[in-house]
Structure 1
């Protein structure tokens, strides 16, 4: 039985040592470490507390959370390579951010991902630099190793029982000669394996639960929920305060030392631009003053394209959903000459097809799905404001499948996923193809991918780290050319890693705290 904490309602002071904007993966981590160090922190969250809400606690209920009151309701703009479709981007609007509504996957990708960050100009962010912070996040069910942590804020477990569909993905991968590995966060990530989840005792373990709940009663932490950040206040070249709503009224709260932006890869660049920080041409177009010129704000948007999904007929009813509705994963190379795995697949205990596929195919009866996508995507997009006001319309464009090599890798992955499902090892479960309902020609597969393309919800990169003219933050996460402001969320990622972004963003939050405390 979970003992739910009470969120104290403290009077808002005029100022705090540090103000953190956003309570997701990065914001929760940096808040906890600062509070533990005795720093006086104000944490501002636009959404409600969401503590003890049954649908947020139940791992099997995460899909209906999309487009619910707990979701910002953002969309990717229409684009030609996805047949002009608008694609929804679930983003958590609640204490814990997207960790309160996501699929709970804990996966950090490959060491080469982080070495690539350093090679791109993020000095000090090689995997060897990041690994201690990954380990510090974790309370891994198998205990501490050189690569895994124990006793950290985030409980990480495998599903207690593996579902037949999850096992089918592993068996199908093995049938096409992919290795079976014990831990995707172990020495290597190529192969099929049972997934790591932020779950325990059948319940979600969000960043709010792991990092924030244990310290909500600390006198040096004030949490204000349902408080939308409106803008930053810049005085004499320094970020000095945050304007935000409290009980529906705008207030200005001072930061004596720093403001930490952790509002995510959509709302952090939006808040910067609303504060006059960004590309002067964009700010002028919006009628906003140019307070501090940074041409890279909103550029470099990246996400992993997801094919949602190949659907198959089941020989037997699958019963109630267990865990998050998945349970396993496989990473492999779409081409053998690649240096690391670039594609990824996961099981779904039911029908997971995008709407165009549901309209095209007969999806009645007992079904299961394999979703798959590209983890080393090359297509890059942007985030632009269409209106210069809080809550105004946005143009969020990932340019999914714009690069020919992305399309080619997805086509190869599609064929391999179809082979996995139909492998002889799965004859007890697989009862034929449903969506698509047969093997496809290349031209037909291209149509299928355009109709199936969706998002892994891994939006990142819009305020990237680096040292060049388009970098927004430096390698210590400080906004370039402006004092008093650091960024600690997925927007700082320079190159999208080959994994879910929750783990790397939590690691970024952990490192941000050490930078602020002078410990790194």
Structure 2
């Protein structure tokens, strides 16, 4: 039987809402929209609906990093400014999306980032507007206040394990006149302090665990995994449903109210373009029928580029030994019995947000600290055999812009990811300032007293030219792609401030792709916030219809 025959023989289904993509945003939408028992919701996900031990356990990250069953394992095209390297872009292919495989850092970004969104014409997206949604989504185990929430689905904690070398890092940064900050998501972002994670009692709080699990028993919500969306179904400029594939057969599902795309900064523009919504010239070149000429689809790609420097340290001042050899089994038993210890923590244990120029109104650089060190080898992350730590530095608001484009006309054709890193000269200069600040930390007591040697460049080679070469050879994505279906009111905007796709009715995009600019922090928390707000926008528009 051909696929054309199979779709003809499968009875179409109808729901009020269809959500394509069960990642951080899709899980939120499914929960909030299905809370109305009069509304039916279909949630489609290309990956499996599972929560394995390594997904639940925070220390499972190395086992998820190259797991093709749960990870799209994307890579960019060769990046000219990074010595022609292809940059690895892991993306969650699992119910829970990237929130099920990420490093679990919980950072909202700077309040001024959201004010910038509003100033660009996105009414309702200033920090004062989105703060209630950040609070609504959180259950902060430290308690609530004017900035932090309690009682929400997403569990947020600092973790119970604190290595002595992490304290040395914090003290060294403070010695450089950076203020101690107990909460990067509170009154101000600038400062140094301990990380907050989407972890509670030693278990990852993915979007699937936080939002879907409490709603699973609702009869009006259907979660369907291993479903690859081929394209949207359109009639007269209106989306009426989705054509998707499962187990080799094609199915049509119809949405009586709206279809919501939540496939992320790579998947969402791909699905729009496969459906004829995007840059007309590019789509015609692929032989696709044009439903809406939106030149901004796939453009405006932004990502955080990190430079990681490793240090060999004195014995006892690293977690490497505890994560290697027979000791890792002891730590594993400790985790299984107590849900505590180093295996219950996320990746970076401390952060610093700093301004590298006095004229800036907010931090432009993030420094992340790991009390352990590793190297990426072929299919896994390998802990170094010596005691080591790592300090990663990155520019928070890169000026460089890239794109996502089609590589074919099938949903199975991996799209072309062109991040265009370091194409703006200021990005190179900011990366240099960030790296220098990281090195200043390593040369400051008390951290310097634990360091044996730096794995960077020999002292005589630390010219600006050689350091830039080092950046281009070693920098890696921090896996925060955004912006490819940007929200706005200019010619390149894909969605309006209510996340409705321009020129197409009954269709919204709800995920990190709608961010007009990259926030100065991690992107999982802001993506969940966007979906929380989107659910309210959808209900409001339904009442006005």
**TM, length-normalised to structure 1:** 0.93
User: How many angstroms apart in 1 are the aligned matches of 2:430 and 2:299?
Assistant: 24
Other-structure match for 2:431 = 410
Check if 1:157 corresponds to 2:157: yes
Who is 1:55 aligned against?
A: 54
CA contact (8 A) 2:104 2:197 kept: yes
Q: What SS does the corresponding residue of 1:494 show, helix, strand or coil?
A: coil
Matched, 1:287 2:287: yes
Residue 437 of structure 1 and its aligned partner are, at CA, apart by: 5.0
Q: Deviation at 1:325?
A: 3.5
Structure 1 residue 286: Cα displacement: 1.0
Q: CA deviation at 1:44?
A: 0.3
2:362 aligned partner? 340
Q: Matched residues in 1 for 2:169 and 2:101: separation?
A: 24
Equivalent position of 2:236 in the other structure: 236
Q: Does 1:379 align with 2:400?
A: yes
CA deviations over 1:118-147 (Å, ceiling 9, x no partner)? 122212211111111111110001222111
CA deviation profile, 1:441-464 (whole Å, cap 9, x unmatched): 212211111112111111110000
Q: CA offset at residue 31 of structure 1?
A: 1.1
In the TM superposition, 1:146-295 aligns within 5 A as: 146-295=146-295
Give distance in 1, aligned partners of 2:235 and 2:441: 59
Which residue pairs with 1:431 in the alignment?
Answer: 452
SS of structure 1 residue aligned to 2:412: coil
Shift of 1:372: 1.2
**Gap change, CA 1:496 and 1:427, over 3 Å in 2:** closer
Partners of 1:15 and 1:223 lie apart in 2 by 14
Contact 2:105 2:346 in 1 (8 A): no
Instruction: Look up the SS of the partner of 2:409 in the other structure.
Output: coil
CA distance in 2, matches of 1:131, 1:272: 30
Q: How does 1:61-140 map to 2 (within 5 A)?
A: 61-68=60-67, 69-140=69-140
Q: Is 2:388 the counterpart of 1:367?
A: yes
Question: Does the CA-based 8 Å contact 1:353-1:452 persist in structure 2?
Answer: no
Distance in 2 (alpha carbons) for counterparts of 1:49 and 1:266? 21
Task: Judge conservation of contact 2:349–2:371 (CA < 8 Å) in 1.
Answer: no
Shift of 1:13: 6.6
Quote how far apart the aligned CAs of 1:161 are. Answer: 2.3
Task: Confirm or deny that 1:461 pairs with 2:460.
Answer: no
**C-alpha distance in 2 between matches for 1:287 and 1:166:** 55
- Answering whether residue 501 of structure 2 is matched by residue 479 of structure 1, we say yes
Give how far 1:174 is off: 1.0
Q: The residue matched to 2:151 in structure 1 has which SS?
A: coil
Taking the aligned partners of 1:44 and 1:462, their CA distance within structure 2 comes to: 21
Distance 1:371 1:327 in 2: 12
Task: State the alpha-carbon separation in 1 of the partners of residues 63 and 146 from structure 2.
Answer: 38
Alpha carbons 1:168, 1:421 under 8 Å: kept: no
CA distance in 2, matches of 1:146, 1:108: 15
Does the 8 Å CA contact 1:477/1:492 hold for their aligned counterparts? yes
Where does residue 335 of structure 2 map in the other structure?
none
Structure 1 residues 201, 275: closer, same or farther in 2, change over 3 A? same
- Of residues 113-122 and 149-158 in structure 1, the stretch that sits farther from structure 2 once superposed is 113-122
| 8 A contact 2:298–2:403 mirrored in 1 | yes
Q: Is the aligned partner of 1:442 residue 2:464?
A: yes
Whether the 8 Å CA contact 1:265–1:460 is kept in 2: the answer is yes
Between stretches 433-442 and 219-228, larger displacement belongs to: 433-442
Tell me how far 1:46 sits from its aligned partner. 0.5
Are the counterparts in 2 of residues 354 and 452 from structure 1 also a CA contact under 8 Å?
Answer: no
Farther off after superposition, 437-446 or 35-44: 437-446
> 8 Å contact 1:311–1:353 — kept in the other structure?
no
Aligned counterparts of 1:12 and 1:162: Cα–Cα separation in 2: 56
Structure 1 contact 476–512 (Cα < 8 Å) conserved: yes
Residue 345 of structure 1, CA deviation: 1.1
User: Structure 1 stretch 60-69 or stretch 78-87: which is displaced more?
Assistant: 60-69
Instruction: Using the TM superposition, give the Cα deviation of residue 428 of structure 1 relative to its aligned residue in structure 2, in angstroms.
Output: 4.3
Counterparts of 1:403 and 1:63, CA distance in 2: 32
Name the structure where helix makes up a greater proportion of residues: 2
In angstroms, what is the RMSD of aligned CA positions? 1.8
1:337 offset after TM fit, Å?
A: 1.5
1:351 deviates by 2.5
1:391 corresponds, among 398, 412, 432, to: 412
Matched, 1:15 2:14: yes
Closer, same or farther in 2 for the Cα pair 1:337/1:353, shift >3 Å? farther
Shift, 1:397, TM fit = 1.2
User: How far did 1:427 drift?
Assistant: 4.1
Aligned residues: 502
Contact 1:45 1:224 (C-alpha < 8 Å) held by counterparts: yes
Among candidates 493, 498, 505, match of residue 520 of structure 2: 498
Partner SS state of residue 472, structure 2: helix
Structure 2: 5+ residue stretches without partners:
1-9, 324-341, 379-383
Q: How does 1:25-44 map to 2 (within 5 A)?
A: 25-38=24-37, 39-44=39-44
* Alignment partners' CA distance in 1, 2:221 and 2:12: 11
Cα distance in 1 for residues equivalent to 2:300 and 2:410: 22
Q: 1:80 and 1:484 mapped to 2: Cα distance?
A: 40
**How many Å separate the matches in 1 of 2:82 and 2:176?**
29
